[in-house]
Structure 1
Amino acid sequence: MTQRRFDHGYEKGDDTDDALEWEDHVMATVAGEVRRRRKELRWSAQDLADRCEEIGYPIPRNVIANMESGRRAVLPLVEIMVLAKALRVSPISLIYPVGYVAEVRELPYQEPQSTWDALQWFTGDSPAEDATDYMLDHFQAHDLELRAAAAAVESEDYERWKVKTAANRVQREAAERALARYTVQAANAKRELRRHRDAIREGGGIPPGLPSPLDDVDPPDTDTTEEIDL
């Protein structure tokens, strides 16, 4: 395939095989972002290679150089993960460099689209119309409800403290009204959180761990994962 390299990706080549052209484009985008980030850190290719070795998955300097120059034919996913760790970025930032590349192609034979939109599709935040990522949907909803429940419980505890320490009747009554609101909010958030945890279990999955203030979300006899900190 005849290709003309530019900063992030390839221009269209002479070959009509769009799948191979798309594959080249993806690899060039990653390589371009690795090079950009490495230079941003003022590292040489050897510096990056040394950091990959420190991680425990050596990627030699010549391999990095060949990748950045477009001379390498393959780019394994595991290397993207290691390079991202070494460069102190997330792997998704190498594949979809938001802010540095305006458009990418999700798949062969598709028109270029916003890099941000493509990233959202890749991470499941904006799934395709025919997507059936039910477990992912429940985990994402679980994360939102977990944060809502934790915030409501924290506010509930705070208002309960204000009731106990109120200096006068007016302050106590105001705190009691606020406590009642947050108690309802906490109960609703816990109910939604419990619903998603049940759905995860019904789908054969294991729900994430719960922080100690939300221990009462799961029934006492339910096996739970390790406690987490928010």
Structure 2
Amino acid sequence: MTPHQTIAARVKQLRKGRGWSAQHLADQMAAEGIAWDRSIVANLENGRRASVSVEEFLVLAFVLDVAPVHLLVPVDAEETTPYRVVPERLPAGSWFVRAWFRGRTPIGGVDPKRYFAEVPDIEWEPPASQWTPENIEAASAATTEARKAAGRS
């Protein structure tokens, strides 16, 4: 499932679960500064609208009263359900993508040392057990070596 497909499905699920019409959701969006109408909601939910802006995405999460990650990554999927973050890469498991969105683990070929260096001090919590200082150092060294071998330092 792609991020856009997930957002569309979750919006529909949450809207219906709250007993809201498409018009009501559009009105809520408009009240928060996003000029939506019923047809935009319908087009998003049935796949005719191919994207949402970051602003639209955040306001959707706000008006639906849900954390943004819960609009972006399926909440009812199995942990290993494939989720395609980057179009040209293999999908990752949905649980892993959730951890990445929360800043708990790097994804892909990212250097974990660099990844965790970007966490603000006020938000810092020790990473998951696989990201102990020793494992981060080993993964960083392996990433550096692989980049050198590929000529991409």
* TM-score bin (small chain): 0.5 to 0.7
Instruction: Name the Cα RMSD after superposition.
Output: 2.2
8 Å CA contact retained: 1:30, 1:94? yes
Instruction: Establish whether residue 95 from structure 1 lines up as the match of residue 78 from structure 2.
Output: no
8 Å CA contact retained: 2:77, 2:94? no
Instruction: Establish whether residue 49 from structure 1 lines up as the match of residue 26 from structure 2.
Output: yes
Q: Measure how far apart 1:41 and its partner are.
A: 0.7
| Match of residue 95 from structure 2 | 116
Separation of aligned partners in 1, 2:118 and 2:72? 24
Instruction: Establish whether residue 34 from structure 1 lines up as the match of residue 20 from structure 2.
Output: no
| Match of residue 161 from structure 1 | none
Instruction: Establish whether residue 130 from structure 1 lines up as the match of residue 111 from structure 2.
Output: yes
Separation of aligned partners in 2, 1:135 and 1:113? 22
Q: TM-score, normalised by structure 1?
A: 0.47
Residues 51-80 of structure 1 deviation map (CA, whole Å, 9 limit, x = unaligned): 112223232211111111111133111111
8 Å CA contact retained: 1:45, 1:64? yes
8 Å CA contact retained: 2:73, 2:94? yes
Separation of aligned partners in 1, 2:96 and 2:62? 24
| Match of residue 51 from structure 2 | 74
Q: Measure how far apart 1:92 and its partner are.
A: 1.3
Q: Which runs of 5+ in 1 are unaligned?
A: 1-8, 10-24, 145-230
Q: What aligned pairs does 1:171-210 form with structure 2 within 5 A after superposition? A: none
Separation of aligned partners in 2, 1:111 and 1:82? 30
| Match of residue 65 from structure 1 | 42
Amino acid of the residue matched to residue 111 of structure 2?
Answer: D
Separation of aligned partners in 2, 1:108 and 1:95? 15
Query: Aligned pair count?
Result: 120
Q: Which runs of 5+ in 2 are unaligned?
A: 127-153
Q: TM-score, normalised by structure 2?
A: 0.68
Separation of aligned partners in 1, 2:55 and 2:16? 22
Separation of aligned partners in 2, 1:100 and 1:58? 32
8 Å CA contact retained: 1:52, 1:83? yes
Amino acid of the residue matched to residue 138 of structure 1?
Answer: D
Q: Measure how far apart 1:100 and its partner are.
A: 4.4
Separation of aligned partners in 2, 1:94 and 1:61? 19
Q: Measure how far apart 1:135 and its partner are.
A: 3.3
Give the structure with higher Rg (CA).
Answer: 1
Residues 30-49 of structure 1 deviation map (CA, whole Å, 9 limit, x = unaligned): 10111111111111100101
8 Å CA contact retained: 2:22, 2:42? yes
* % identity of equivalent residues: 33
Task: Give the structure with the larger helix fraction.
Answer: 1
2:119 is paired with a residue whose SS is: helix
* Bigger RCO (CA 8 Å, 6+ sep): 2
Residues 82-120 of structure 1 deviation map (CA, whole Å, 9 limit, x = unaligned): 111111101111111222474312222333332121111
